[in-house]
Chain A
Amino acid sequence: MTERRVVITGLGVINALGTGREEYFQALLDGKIGIDRIKVFDPGEFPSQVAGEAPRPKMSDVVPKVYRKATKLMSRDIGLAVIAADGAIRDGRIKTKATNPEGGIDIDPVRSGVNIGAGLICCDLVELATAAQHAAEDGRFSLQKWGSEGMNMLTPLWLLKYLPNMLSCHISIIHDLQGPSNSITCAEVSGTLSIGEAYRKIVHNKADLMVAGGAESKVEAMGLLRQCLLGRACTKYNDRPKDACRPFDRDAGGMVIGEGAGIVILEELEHARQRGATLYAEITGFGASNNFSRDFVEPEASAKGVTIALQKALNEAKLSPGEIDLLVAHGIAIASNDRAEATAIREAFGEHTKTLSVLATKSRFGNCGAAGGAIDLITAVLALYERQVPSNVNCPNPPSEYGLNLADSNQAADINHAMTCSYTYGGQTAALTISRLS
């Protein structure tokens, strides 16, 4: 059997820079920054008060009429995933049950699957509080009263709003995708791992088309609290939100929470050609590994797991480090993490590091958690397809020992091969290689 090749034929994105690939990429090229003081809740008593908040389009615009009732079961994370999936499917001009309710579906549902990375979804605290007030006894919460009265105030399907597999499930139902369906929950590397696994599914002939990526909102009280408690959130720039997220910069002050979704359509090459699809790029390599650290928060100083993932993704693509034109890096903007990542990049690319274009985009829209790696891949695909690398912002002074080539203006570039890398607290790492179709 000849090797099955996998191409990217649709892009869906939503984050603080906008909705859809055109708006997103134009915002990158225009130097826009979507980070601002938090609006969705009052952050006044939080040490970090800035975030990249994504738009809130009407869900009824992206969910077919017959499925409208189910939007009540869509938490923010699910909603972001459904929006980006709709965007990717429409961008790929794929005729599904949802986009073509009158018929003329041009994919085989059983050969089409979903793989969406998800985060730890916190329940809506306002909804919980509304129920919990019915469990108060002498002004305090009573578990006994919760069991007998309070819990009954929650909608019966309450739990289903917060299961991480519901991102994939709603998408599979809306578009009738009955093939392999997975939900990878590896924190900030979920999106990259999901796309990697979905790519494998097509190569190994388990599917012809996969809707893959990740979605998460960290812009809620528990999400911010967790990052603050862990000492990862940026607290230094509350009065200057646009300056707050500074990946690889000398003055990096911590990560800024964000929210969003990145979803791509992966397709077997011949399947895509027969459809006359736009072939944005080919996925040519995937690698996964793991970083160590004693506290599970900081990566080891060498971020060796990132190097291994990059090398695996390079080897699979049968490319040497010198052939890579662009790396969209994780760039979390926590100084010790950026330093470790830079070390890992130098180790993987050697001498070529000096010339390799490195782009970090979290300065624009923050840390979108499980969506991050998927959005990074979309950025790499668009840079390759549009032959333009957007500028790095908020990085005027990268420490020279990082040794990275971080251009601070847009660069025209004929990119033949690009990579992305992701890592997370906990340790998991992953990298992808994409190539221009020859």
Chain B
Amino acid sequence: MTRRVVITGMGAVTPLGHNVEELWRRLLAGQSGVGKTTIFDSGTFPTQFSAQVNGYDHLRDLPENIRADHREACRNSRFIIGAALQAWRQANLPIPLPAELRDGKIGYLPAAEQVGAYLGAGEGPIDFDNFIAATVNGWQGEKMEMDWKAWAKTAFPRMNARRELEQEPNMPGAHLARIFNLRGPCMSCLTACAASTQAIGEATELIRYADADIIITGGTHSMIHPLGVTGFNRLTALSTRNDDPSSASRPFDGERDGFVLAEGAGALIIEELETARRRGVNILAEIIGYGSTADAFRVTDQHEDGRGGIAAVRMALENANVGIDQIDYISAHGTGTKENDSIETLIIKGVFGPRAYQIPISSVKSMLGHLIAAAGAVELITCVLAIRDQIAPPTTNLTHPDPKCDLDYIPNQARKIPVNVAMSNSFGFGGQNNTLIIRRFVD
């Protein structure tokens, strides 16, 4: 039998608050974190709004003696540093971890070699002004070719080594390893919008099979920068409801016109059950199932029948050893794009049959926007809180029914429901499908 994995700490830095409790309160109140984009001037872009994290200072949360090491962290690393510190402290873990296993009167702690990180982390925002200046200065318009000498002459004096290094997607995890003294597996994956759900699932596997005893997992991302918005606007994936940003994110609504780009981080401490017991830490929930598949269909679209998504959800159910009647709540991927929401509805019906109509489902992206690589982690945190408080957050902006989306999406008002087992789904570009199932912890 594989080892059991429990959640013992959570943290979040999001557009709706820089900690878990504020985020939860505002989600239950149906508030929106979406507003005009101010990180850069997007006044002429097709989409001029987003869900930003405003006014967060990671240095304030870091112990003073190590602040210097993390001063230059990129935006995404700053968010995960904040979220991870909250989770770490909730899980009652010391900063830094001692290298050797500790036991006895002062309490139990596994060796640092058994404590790792697994993030679904995005790349850091590019140094856009200098990057574009070099590109423009090097470009020979008449000849339609790049003069690489001219490019280099602009790029070298203007770009900064540390600023470039911090964009690497392994850096958010690198900062966490440094802060906490992690010597276990330190991994990072970037499977688009499904990344942090996948990271949590893979971290769960590492603990189940004893590659680690404790892992800090979750995700972080910010694509609210000129090239990020350009990329999504060119894909026509973003809502362009510029006249009313807070109603732009409309998962499952008949008038949805795309997702709303957001940024932020969610972090969870997960650990092997016996380790948690020996440490005497409060257990928030148990991770009981994980499923991960590929559509193997198209890089642009989900499989029209939801083939890969159905397989991932079934795999997670089987892995959790629970039946379809036991799922009390689903946190949907629910992006608010035409395609995603109708296919996700098909996936849920495909797996749950008639029971699909009885399961309350919500998409917190209606309020938070889409945190891309970080989305799944923050959504799993809301599932833990739904179990704790026996209440599910609403899907806001759901006012015009779509015949293709006819399930119970908890429209507009949070709802008290009994939640023992919750499921969180994430789907990413390229056909990445990941599902996690958690349960109220019982011995």
Give the residues in chain A near B308, CB-CB below 8 Å.
178
Binds A, one of B274-282, B395-403, B423-431: B423-431
User: How far, in Å, is A190 (CB) from chain B's closest CB?
Assistant: 8
Q: Is the interface of B mostly helix, strand, loop or mixed?
A: mixed
Contact B171 A426 (CB under 8 A): yes
B190 near A204: Cβ-Cβ < 8 Å: no
Answer whether residue A26 sits at the interface, using C-beta atoms and an 8 A cutoff: no
B174 smallest CB distance to A (angstroms) = 4
Of the stretches A136-144, A264-272, A412-420, the one at the interface is A136-144
Stretch with Cβ within 8 A of A (4 or more), from B82-90, B102-110, B158-166, B353-361:
B158-166
Contacts A229-B160, A426-B174, A427-B178 hold; do A289 and B185 have CB atoms under 8 A apart?
yes
Contacts of B202 in A (CB 8 A): 182, 197
Residues of A within 8 A of B431 (CB): 169, 172-173, 181
Q: How far is the CB of B337 from chain A (nearest CB, A)?
A: 14
Given A172-B431, A179-B294, A181-B292, A45:B141 Cβ within 8 A: no
CB proximity to A under 8 Å, residues B112-131: 113, 116, 121, 123, 131
B432 close to A169 (CB less than 8 A): yes
- Chain B residues positioned under 8 Å from A180 (CB to CB): 292-294
CA of A305 to CA of B141, assembled, Å: 49
Partner-contacting stretch, out of A126-134, A235-243, A329-337: A126-134
Report B-chain residues with C-beta under 8 Å of the C-beta of A46: 152
- By a CB distance below 8 angstroms, the chain A residues around B159 are 225, 229
Contacts of B429 in A (CB 8 A): 160, 163, 165, 169
Chain A residue at smallest Cβ distance from B307: A178
**Which of B135, B183, B296 is most buried by chain A, counting CB atoms within 10 A of its CB?**
B296
B299 CB–A CB distance under 8 Å: yes
CB of A182 to closest CB in B, whole Å: 5
Verify B164–A177 contact, CB threshold 8 A: no
B165 close to A164 (CB less than 8 A): no
Known: A173-B297, A292-B177, A424-B170. A132 touches B139 (CB 8 A): yes
- Which of these, B151, B198, B205, B235, contacts A157 with CB under 8 Å? B235
In-complex Cβ contact of B148 among A41, A140, A297, A308 (8 A): A41
**A residues in contact with B44, CB < 8 Å:** 143-148
Interface size (B, Cβ < 8 Å)?
Answer: 89
- Closest Cβ of chain B to A157, distance in Å, is 7
A 150-180 to B, binary, CB cutoff 8 A, 1 in contact else 0: 0110111111101111101110110111111
A308 and B189 within 8 A (CB): no
Encoded as 1 (CB less than 8 Å from any A CB) or 0, chain B from 149 to 160 comes to 101110110011
Q: Which of B55-63, B225-233, B320-328 touches A?
A: B225-233
Enumerate chain A residues within 8 angstroms of B233, measured Cβ to Cβ.
Answer: 151
**A120: Cβ under 8 A from any B Cβ:** yes
By the criterion CB–CB under 8 Å, are A427 and B149 in contact? no
Q: How far is the CA of A402 from the CA of B429 in the complex (A)?
A: 46
Task: Report if B69 contacts A (CB, 8 A).
Answer: yes
Query: A231-B161, A296-B178 are known contacts. Are A159 and B171 too (CB-CB below 8 A)?
Result: no
A187 at the interface (CB under 8 A from B): yes
B169 to A185, Cβ gap below 8 A? yes
Contacts from B to A (Cβ < 8 Å): 40-46, 69, 113, 116, 121, 123, 131-133, 135-136, 138-139, 141, 144-149, 151-153, 155-156, 159-161, 164-165, 167-171, 173-174, 177-178, 181-192, 195, 198, 202, 205, 209, 211, 226-227, 230-236, 292-300, 307-308, 311, 428-432
- Can you offer 22 A-B residue contacts whose CB atoms are under 8 A? A45-B153, A73-B299, A110-B293, A125-B151, A133-B141, A143-B44, A154-B230, A158-B230, A159-B235, A160-B429, A163-B430, A164-B190, A175-B296, A178-B307, A197-B202, A221-B151, A226-B161, A229-B159, A231-B161, A289-B113, A290-B182, A308-B183
Q: Apart from A182-B292, A221-B151, what 10 extra A-B contacts exist at CB < 8 Å?
A: A125-B135, A144-B41, A157-B300, A159-B230, A166-B430, A172-B295, A178-B311, A200-B209, A427-B177, A428-B186
The 3 closest A-B pairs by CB, nearest first: A159-B231, A169-B430, A147-B44
